[in-house]
Amino acid sequence: MAMVKAWSFGLVLLWFSTLSYYYPVNAADDNNSTLGASFIFGDSLVDAGNNNYLSTLSRANIPPNGIDFKATGGNPTGRYTNGRTIGDIVGEELGIPNYAVPYLAPNSTGKAILYGVNYASGGGGIMNATGRIFVNRLGLDIQIDFFKNTRKQFDTLLGASKAKEYISKKSIFSITIGANDFLNNYLLPVLSVGTRISQSPDGFIDDMISHLRNQLTRLHQLDARKFVVGNVGPIGCIPYQKTINQLNENECVDLANKLAIQYNGRLKDLLTEMNGKLPGAVFVHANVYDLVMELITNYKNYGFTTASKACCGNGGQFAGIIPCGPTSSMCDDRDKHVFWDPYHPSEAANLIIARQLLNGNTKVISPVNLKRLRNL
């Protein structure tokens, strides 16, 4: 969920990574491609480098981002965290031997795509207008257009019959999106005033759900069957929001969280509807809001020392105004911070969240967890 940070990114866009994006997770051979692919859609929470190839104000291919990403020896890749994203960790735990390659990377062709493709984009949202402050980003509609291209490549690689089986029976589609539709659209200072006057929160959320219904249906038409869809986290509790609203450590922005909760209720109903409507599909609801709120509320129980202050950033009490870049202050104990930067979780927090999604009960992921979804 790349936040409103356009004004500060001009200072840190001079450094550009030229690393390869086909990272081995382990030494598994090509036979492991029978496990299926991981197709990742969403925003900066799961972007693995697509924005590196866009003329955009939202990028993370600058140090010290990626400082703990072992696959590159600590060099940045375009991930908005210090190490792995939730999508990376889930793919590893499910046994996929390589990280999903960013769609816009030059090597997102041939056998590389058999392990999966990442279409996520920092600043992207469900609504096409979301993230326009960043100039360029990939909204979910465009991401699905790109998957349509990938789908054709699978037919070429495997043959039509095997490709359909591989995608529908063995692959998992994860969608992590929605936060930017509030923070960089409906709640965007100044630019969104007209929208808020003309459209109530109920009306805006109705539009989000309507768009998402159509988007999920499009993926189903392209043979996607196993879905995991994350709800919106407690966006009022991120260091950026706490800093600009001058809140205390144990406070969160009430309006932002209320909008997230309202949308999340509608999302859960939508996924129930889709499970009953689309033949052969399994839509899994990932309760990211409660998982993240648990970490924020009880951070000491998980070995963290703070759930308010960003490890990498500058400005205000919680280092929550200026994004992470070469001139930012950075903590020494990165695994003790819930938040890596003013907007995104650390790898340590991502690891806890991912493992709950993989193995958790129906309070956090329903109707089945990801380990069970893989085996369906």
Q: Give residue 167's pLDDT.
A: 98
pLDDT digits (tens, 9 = 90+) for 268-281: 999 999 999 999 99
Cα-Cα-Cα-Cα dihedral sign, residues 304, 308, 310, 315:
negative
Report the top-level CATH class of 38-233+245-287. Answer: alpha beta
Give the per-residue pLDDT at 92: 96
Could you report the per-residue pLDDT of 137-148, keeping only the tens digit for each? 999 999 999 999
Average pLDDT taken over every residue of the chain: 91
Q: What is the pLDDT of residues 91-122, one digit of tens each?
A: 999 999 999 999 999 999 999 999 999 999 99
pLDDT score, position 227 = 98
User: Which is more confidently placed, 9 or 232?
Assistant: 232
Whether residue 84 has pLDDT greater than 60 = yes
pLDDT in tens, 28-64: 334 344 589 999 999 999 999 999 999 999 999 999 9
So what's the pLDDT on residue 26? 46
d(CA 107, CA 96) in angstroms, rounded, equals 18
pLDDT (0 to 100) of residue 102 = 98
Percent of the chain with pLDDT over 90: 87
pLDDT digits (tens, 9 = 90+) for 170-189: 999 999 999 999 999 998 86
Summarize the confidence of residues 220-226 as an average pLDDT. 98
Please state the pTM of the whole predicted model. Answer: 0.92
Q: Which residues pair with 282 in a beta bridge?
A: 226
Among residues 68, 85, 278, 108, the alpha carbon closest in space to that of 176 is found at: 85
8 catalytic residue (yes or no)? no
- Contact predicate 340/347, CB 8 Å: yes
Measured between alpha carbons, how far is 104 from 52 in angstroms, rounded to an integer? 8
44 is catalytic: yes
Catalytic pick among 43, 88, 181, 341: 341
From 33, 44, 108, 328, active-site residue: 44
- Given 47, 58, 344, 346, the catalytic residue: 344
Res 187: pLDDT: 87
| pLDDT (0 to 100) of residue 179 | 98
| 344 in catalytic set | yes
Helix axes 86-93, 347-359, angle to 10 degrees: 50
Q: Which residue has the higher pLDDT, 253 or 189?
A: 253
213-216: long-range pairs with CB below 8 Å, 24+: 213/270, 213/273, 213/274, 215/126, 215/140, 215/141, 215/144, 216/175, 216/274, 216/278, 216/283
Of the chain, the percentage scoring pLDDT greater than 70 comes to 89
Cα radius of gyration rounded to whole Å, the chain: 19
Q: Identify the pLDDT of residue 23.
A: 66
For residue 245, is pLDDT > 60? yes
Secondary structure in 3-state letters for 79-131: CCCCCCCHHHHHHHHCCCCECCEECCCCCCCHHHHHHEEECCCCCCCCCCCCC
Give the Cα separation of 118 and 183 in Å (integer).
23
Contacts of 133 (CB under 8 A, 6+ apart): 4, 6, 57, 123, 184, 188, 191
Instruction: Report the DSSP beta bridge partners of residue 339.
Output: 345
Note the Cα 197 to chain centre separation in Å: 29
How many Å separate Cα 63 from the centre of its chain? 20
Identify which has the larger pLDDT, 24 or 368: 368
